[in-house]
Amino acid sequence: MPALCLCFDVHEAYRLRRYTVFDIGQSSVYEDDDRNCDSLMAVARMCYLPMNELLLGLVRRYKKAFKCAFAISGTALDQFEQYAPEVIDGFKALAATGSVEFVAGTSAHSLAFLYSREEFDRQVSAHSARLKAVFGKKPLSFRNAEYVYNNELALALQKSGFKAVLAEGADHVLGWRSPNYLYQAPDASRPCLLLRNAPLSEDVSINFSCREWPEWPLTAEKFTSWCRRASDDADIINLFWDYHAFGARHAKETGIVDFMAALPAALLEDRRFRFITPSEAAQKIDPRGLMDVPGFTSWKDRERDLTMWLGNDMQKDAIHALYAFGPRVRDTGDPVLLHDYERLQAADHFYNMSTKWFTGYLSDRPNPFGNPYDAYITFMNVLADFEMRLVAAEKTAKHPAPRKKGAGKPRVRSKKSGD
């Protein structure tokens, strides 16, 4: 009986404001708060609030028969708390059902694993602790930012106790094999590797509202028939969807929400199918073999590699300059610098510098700068100001301000003062 693993990817980026050379040394406000708020509130209205309510109803209707998972980034949680706490309330209600799993990641939705294992470990630990604090359960599964994965990541996660890691079922890695099985990484018995079934996942998240798509319109019954066809050679079918697809990327009027409402019933009518969470899959399904992934994969673009974030000299220059500050920032211990340094690590900043597509950004996730060159210039201006603040913090640490005479001594009140 094939298992169905549904995982919704929930991520919101903090957008930088148009930070010019004239702002350097004058203002350390890097983010566009108004735009971030407006965007989050719009997506909450179109997607998060109605979909959370829909999924909660499905979980309650089908009891333990319907399950799903959420991979919520740290920057998404930040914005929910800041702008729309009712969204977190919706996720908490889902968590309380016991049929929903929350998947860990990096707190900054960063590519830290590529540049600093110390920073990566810190962010994973922080995000795991936050998910436990908010939703009441320690995460047992892991999804790296943008599903970036290779063999070394599996080894690093094994030490952290994760049971499952979610990754892309890239054709150049799979070869003749199917993504519809559990695998293990070489030299790592845990975590088990759950690979996204890319064609089935993208038929919903990317193609659903495209009238030029040969399979339009997509119905729950048609999609179930495709899953049934795939189940002839499968232990598990992993459907990893960007949550934005349900209402933000594809408007409610396209039928995407109705599709999701009808899908569990259509699938559960076939007794061969059962829903399962990632950590349950790792516990209940035996891996079918080793999956060797020496190079990094991701779920973006046709190549399923890192070129959307590191494909040109601008991106490489920006990310190397940023991570070069890491040890110095940690040495200062300055909480404001540490906060800003983490937020600047978000993979979205480097994605906005990509020259692979000038018009390839999805409608619900546009480049806030319009072109990659302005994105790069803005980011480097921000880094210039950040470095000035870092140098100032280092000087203060080496030469602290002298204490005023009598500072630190307890005040003694005389009896005449009323004691």
User: What's 304's DSSP letter?
Assistant: -
Contacts of 18 (CB under 8 A, 6+ apart): 32, 369, 374, 378
Are 135 and 91 in contact by the 8 Å Cβ rule? The answer is yes
| Partner residues linked to 39 by β-bridges | none
Residue-wise over 358-378: b if at least 16 C-beta within 10 A, else e? eeeeeebbebbbeebeebbbb
Catalytic entry in 101, 119, 146, 280 = 146
- State the Cα–Cα distance between residues 194 and 386, nearest whole angstrom: 39
Region at 230 (left for phi over 0; alpha for psi -120 to 50; beta for the rest): alpha
- State the Cα–Cα distance between residues 332 and 406, nearest whole angstrom: 27
- State the Cα–Cα distance between residues 181 and 158, nearest whole angstrom: 20
113-20-40 Cα angle (round to 5): 60
146 is catalytic: yes
Q: Hey, how many other C-beta atoms are within 10 angstroms of the C-beta on 386?
A: 21
- State the Cα–Cα distance between residues 353 and 357, nearest whole angstrom: 10
SS3 content of the chain, % helix, strand, coil (to 5): 50, 15, 35
Are 145 and 154 in contact by the 8 Å Cβ rule? The answer is no
- State the Cα–Cα distance between residues 293 and 389, nearest whole angstrom: 40
Mapping DSSP to helix (H, G, I), strand (E, B) and coil, where does residue 16 land? strand
- State the Cα–Cα distance between residues 394 and 264, nearest whole angstrom: 56
- State the Cα–Cα distance between residues 202 and 41, nearest whole angstrom: 25
The residues assigned a catalytic role are 146
